[in-house]
């Protein structure tokens, strides 16, 4: 028989027929809606009924033929833990009945001592109570499953009683072993907070409640039972009553130690990488400085030597030295360029230039090497490309030089072709395709993807045979990307390689442009360009002193030399100078400090003198520092004589255009 809604079906397990009848009669006299009463005379019979049918309530006699006392109760509960049980007890068994209640039975009635009313009350009370207990159990189980699934801890804080309920498997990590989690000490949470943060965390929690907020969230350290601290993220929702008073808070505790650790490790790795990058940058800048200083001497002296009367053999030796220094400078500049690219410190110039001239000059610069190897070097420029383009001609030149010189380097016979196609054009810009192809050694398929990587050379063997640092293509690719373009390569071993890059370049506004390569190769023949000019040279390196003095005197200048800043300050008190050339790194007093003293502590006629820094640092930041220190201009060592003359004349006769 199925139970009607709200009606109750009762199982009575009682071996005494008299007691059975009595109980049944009493039940029928109550106002309870009973859908059915089933009788069982033994525990086994009762259990059999329970397995076949559902009941709302069980009456259990304590003394049955097949089981008795608490034993009978426990066996029954095992089969039907969710059904409320009322114990039928004799007067002498009340202690046992009470024990059964402590184990989960809902109530007990004394046989022969109950009346209809007390029976009705007991039945109703037992069913309702058990229902609530089951509901609570279900809720707790749900919490438990959630906290097990997430390993979180859930807390439920009654703000009126200040009692906190804790749920969750994770608790075992924080409580002493064997702690009863239903009886966690009141101060458990506060005590486990890290002493350095305790006050702050407790304060923030109370602040949230007092300010009437709806939730609270905080990260903190929490003591584990192995004496270590876990990093915790804790969130709580504040529940308010109708009067808008906070009465309860329910929240979670999540162990975020691993996440925190990973975050810290990532941050640490980032800091270390940044430090390593800075150290590398500094090292390369220092190296470049240390190399540039003697190189200035080598290049300057060779320049002076080439201007003397030399026989044919000597001329060739000097040319060879110049070629070698040129190669060495290219390597030093590559290293520095790469450092700048990595540090994001490359700055591009924007100027008009003659496009075809730039390309043909670049080809010319490589022509002699192609001729030496007996390779044909061709260049085809689409004639629809406007003559003047705008952008950074130096970087475009650098890209093309890299690719063309590689093509020649890795080709033994055949030809190298440079083709520039106009792909598209608008009013403002042109989209160009640059192709540099060769019939050289080619690149193996498995190496082709990595040739743009730093220091990458197809084989260690190629370094010795062909020279190079493995930086050229990295720089080339990065520069092309910086200019907004892209580069691709196709190659077959022993057949040759084709590098193609694509750039969108702005059209120039002027009709005539500047040609970057021209200035480097053709120097005007100067005579006495610095005649009558008094120059104070402040420089500690003896060779570089000699180079500068000779170069300046060769153009008619009068030169005084100071070995460091301090000496320069002393000299300036006595001599007349029109301009000061100032080295930066010097013993006793460096160029920055000397400039400061000249600018702020010397008489007006001295303090206003133009100062040009001669720095062996090619870093933009250092050059800017010179201007910031009050110098008027700077020239990087090693310098070309013509550039030095230009800079001097620019300072003394700003409108001068003879050079
Ligand atoms: P490197 O200074 O060694 O030339 P690059 O970065 O310019 O450095 O080139 C990296 C490597 O790519 C070279 O060492 C070479 O193995 C390969 N490579 C570059 N260009 C060519 C080419 N045109 N033909 C064959 N191999 C090339």
CATH code of the domain containing 168: 3.30.450.20
Alpha carbon 45 to its chain's center:
72
pLDDT at 451 over 70: yes
542 shares its domain with 598: yes
CB within 8 A of 342, min separation 6: which ones? Answer: 277, 281
Quote the radius of gyration of the chain (alpha carbons, Å): 47
Q: Which domain holds residue 533?
A: 283-338+525-659
pLDDT at 515 over 70: no
Q: What is the Å distance from ligand 1's center to 457 Cα?
A: 6
Q: What share of the chain is helix, strand, coil (3-state, %, to 5)?
A: 45, 25, 30
**360-377: pLDDT as tens digits:** 888 988 888 899 999 999
Ligand 1 pocket test, candidate residues 457, 467, 495, 500, most atoms within 8 A of CB: 457
Average pLDDT over residues 438-442: 95
Q: Return the CATH number at 401.
A: 3.30.565.10
Q: Given 447, 480, 507, which residue is the final one in a domain?
A: 507
**DSSP at 248:** E
Q: What is the Å distance from ligand 1's center to 411 Cα?
A: 11
Q: What is the Å distance from ligand 1's center to 451 Cα?
A: 7
**CB-count burial class (<10 Å; 0-12, 13-18, 19+) for 59:** buried
Decide if 7 contacts 37 (C-beta within 8 A): no
SS3 (DSSP) at 88: strand
Decide if 417 contacts 490 (C-beta within 8 A): no
For the record, the structure tokens of 136 come out as: 């609570």
CA distances from 293 to 250, 296, 337, 548, 642 (A): 71, 5, 18, 12, 18
73 shares its domain with 198: no
Q: Is residue 271 part of a domain?
A: no
Residue nearest to atom 25 of ligand 1 (CA): 442
C-alpha to C-alpha distance for 327 and 642, rounded to whole angstroms: 20
501 shares its domain with 366: yes
Q: What is the Å distance from ligand 1's center to 335 Cα?
A: 16
**537-571: pLDDT as tens digits:** 999 989 899 999 999 998 999 999 999 999 999 99
Among 12-26, 398-412, 448-462, the range scoring the smallest mean pLDDT is 448-462
Decide if 455 contacts 418 (C-beta within 8 A): no
Q: Is residue 425 part of a domain?
A: yes
- Please count the structural domains in the chain: 4
169 shares its domain with 51: no
**522-540: pLDDT as tens digits:** 455 677 889 889 999 999 9
Q: Is residue 480 part of a domain?
A: yes
Q: What is the pLDDT of residue 506?
A: 94
Q: Is residue 448 part of a domain?
A: yes
**260-294: pLDDT as tens digits:** 999 999 999 999 998 887 887 778 777 777 888 88
Q: Given 128, 148, 168, which residue is the final one in a domain?
A: 148
Ligand 1 pocket test, candidate residues 332, 451, 459, 471, most atoms within 8 A of CB: 451
Enumerate residues lining ligand 1, CB below 6 A: 406-407, 410, 438, 440-443, 451, 456-458, 462, 468-474, 497
Average pLDDT over residues 165-172: 85
**63-87: pLDDT as tens digits:** 899 988 889 999 999 999 989 999 9
CB within 8 A of 641, min separation 6: which ones? Answer: 300, 303, 523, 551
Q: What is the pLDDT of residue 618?
A: 64
15 shares its domain with 67: yes
Residue nearest to atom 19 of ligand 1 (CA): 406
**247-263: pLDDT as tens digits:** 999 999 999 999 999 99
For the record, the structure tokens of 52 come out as: 């076949």
User: Percent of the chain, pLDDT > 70?
Assistant: 92
CA distances from 276 to 156, 214, 401, 586 (A): 49, 47, 31, 28
Q: How confident is the model at residue 514 (pLDDT cuts 50, 70, 90)?
A: low
pLDDT at 140 over 80: no
CA terminus-to-terminus distance, the chain? 117
Q: How confident is the model at residue 459 (pLDDT cuts 50, 70, 90)?
A: low
Q: How confident is the model at residue 108 (pLDDT cuts 50, 70, 90)?
A: very high
Decide if 564 contacts 540 (C-beta within 8 A): yes
Q: What is the pLDDT of residue 520?
A: 41
User: Percent of the chain, pLDDT > 90?
Assistant: 56
Q: What is the pLDDT of residue 169?
A: 79
**316-363: pLDDT as tens digits:** 888 888 877 877 887 777 777 777 777 677 778 888 999 999 998 889
Q: What is the pLDDT of residue 35?
A: 92
Q: Is residue 270 part of a domain?
A: no
Q: Is residue 263 part of a domain?
A: no
The whole-chain average pLDDT of the chain stands at 87
370 shares its domain with 488: yes
141 shares its domain with 5: yes
**580-625: pLDDT as tens digits:** 999 998 889 999 999 999 999 999 889 999 999 998 876 667 778 8
pLDDT at 144 over 90: no
131 shares its domain with 158: no
Ligand 1 atom closest to the Cα of residue 451 is 12
Q: What is the Å distance from ligand 1's center to 449 Cα?
A: 12
Among 123-137, 224-238, 443-457, 574-588, the range scoring the smallest mean pLDDT is 443-457
Q: How confident is the model at residue 413 (pLDDT cuts 50, 70, 90)?
A: very high
Ligand 1 atom closest to the Cα of residue 440 is 24
362 shares its domain with 449: yes
φ/ψ (deg, to 5) at 213: -75, 165
Q: Is residue 362 part of a domain?
A: yes
Q: What is the Å distance from ligand 1's center to 313 Cα?
A: 34
């Amino acid at each position: 028989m199925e139970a009607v809604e709200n009606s109750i079906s009762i199982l009575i397990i009682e071996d005494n027929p008299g007691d059975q009848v009595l109980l049944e009669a009493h039940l029928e006299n109550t106002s309870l809606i009973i859908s059915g009463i089933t009788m069982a005379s033994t525990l086994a019979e009762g259990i059999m009924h329970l397995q076949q049918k559902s009941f709302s309530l069980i009456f259990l006699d304590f003394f049955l033929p097949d089981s008795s006392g608490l034993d009978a109760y426990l066996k029954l509960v095992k089969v039907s833990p969710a059904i409320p049980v009322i114990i039928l007890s004799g007067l002498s068994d009340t202690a046992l009945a009470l024990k059964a209640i402590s184990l989960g039975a809902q109530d007990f009635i004394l046989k022969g001592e109950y009346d209809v009313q007390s029976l009705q009350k007991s039945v109703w009370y037992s069913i309702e109570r058990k229902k609530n207990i089951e509901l609570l159990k279900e809720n707790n189980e749900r919490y438990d499953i959630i906290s097990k699934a997430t390993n979180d801890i859930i807390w439920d804080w009654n703000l009126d009683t200040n009692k906190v309920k804790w749920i969750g498997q994770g608790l075992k990590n924080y409580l002493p072993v064997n702690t009863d989690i239903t009886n966690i000490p009141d101060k458990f949470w506060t005590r486990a907070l890290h002493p350095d943060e305790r006050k702050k965390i407790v304060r923030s929690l109370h602040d949230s409640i007092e300010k009437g907020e709806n939730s609270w969230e905080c990260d903190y350290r929490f003591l584990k039972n192995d004496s270590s601290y876990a990093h915790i993220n804790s969130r709580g929702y504040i529940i308010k009553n109708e009067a808008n008073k906070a009465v309860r808070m329910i929240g979670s505790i999540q162990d975020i130690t691993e996440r925190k650790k990973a975050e810290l490790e990532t941050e640490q790795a980032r800091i270390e990488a940044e430090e390593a990058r800075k150290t590398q940058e500094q090292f390369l800048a220092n190296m470049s400085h240390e190399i540039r200083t003697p190189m200035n001497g080598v290049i300057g002296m060779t320049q002076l030597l080439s201007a003397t009367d030399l026989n044919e053999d000597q001329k060739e030796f000097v040319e060879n030295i110049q070629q070698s220094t040129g190669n060495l400078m290219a390597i030093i500049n590559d290293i520095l360029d790469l450092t700048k690219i990595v540090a994001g410190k490359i700055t591009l110039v924007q100027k008009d230039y003659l496009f075809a001239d730039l390309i043909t000059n670049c080809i010319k610069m490589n022509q002699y090497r192609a001729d030496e190897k007996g390779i044909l070097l061709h260049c085809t420029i689409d004639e629809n490309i406007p003559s003047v383009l705008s952008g950074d001609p130096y970087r475009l030149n650098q890209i093309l030089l890299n690719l063309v010189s590689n093509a020649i380097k890795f080709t033994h016979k055949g030809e190298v072709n440079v083709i520039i196609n106009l792909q598209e054009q608008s009013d403002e810009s042109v989209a160009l395709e640059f192709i540099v192809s060769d019939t050289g050694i080619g690149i193996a398929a498995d190496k082709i993807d990595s040739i743009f990587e730093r220091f990458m050379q197809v084989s260690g063997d190629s370094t010795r045979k062909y020279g190079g640092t493995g930086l050229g293509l990295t720089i080339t690719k990065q520069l092309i990307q910086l200019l907004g373009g892209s580069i691709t390569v196709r190659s077959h071993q022993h057949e040759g390689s084709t590098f193609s890059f694509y750039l969108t370049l702005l059209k120039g506004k002027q009709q005539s442009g500047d040609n970057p390569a021209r200035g480097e190769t053709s120097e005007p023949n100067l005579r006495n360009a610095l005649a009558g000019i008094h120059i104070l040279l402040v420089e500690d390196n003896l060779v570089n002193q000699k180079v500068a003095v000779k170069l300046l005197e060769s153009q008619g200048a009068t030169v005084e030399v100071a070995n460091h800043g301090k000496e320069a300050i002393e000299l300036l008190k006595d001599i007349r100078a029109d301009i000061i050339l100032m080295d930066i790194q010097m013993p006793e007093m460096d160029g920055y400090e000397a400039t400061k003293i000249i600018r702020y502590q010397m008489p007006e006629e001295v303090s206003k003198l133009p100062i040009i820094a001669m720095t062996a640092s090619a870093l933009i930041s250092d050059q800017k520092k010179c201007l910031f220190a009050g110098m008027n201009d700077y020239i990087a060592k090693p310098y070309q004589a013509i550039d030095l003359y230009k800079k001097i004349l620019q300072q003394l006769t700003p409108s001068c255009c003879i050079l």
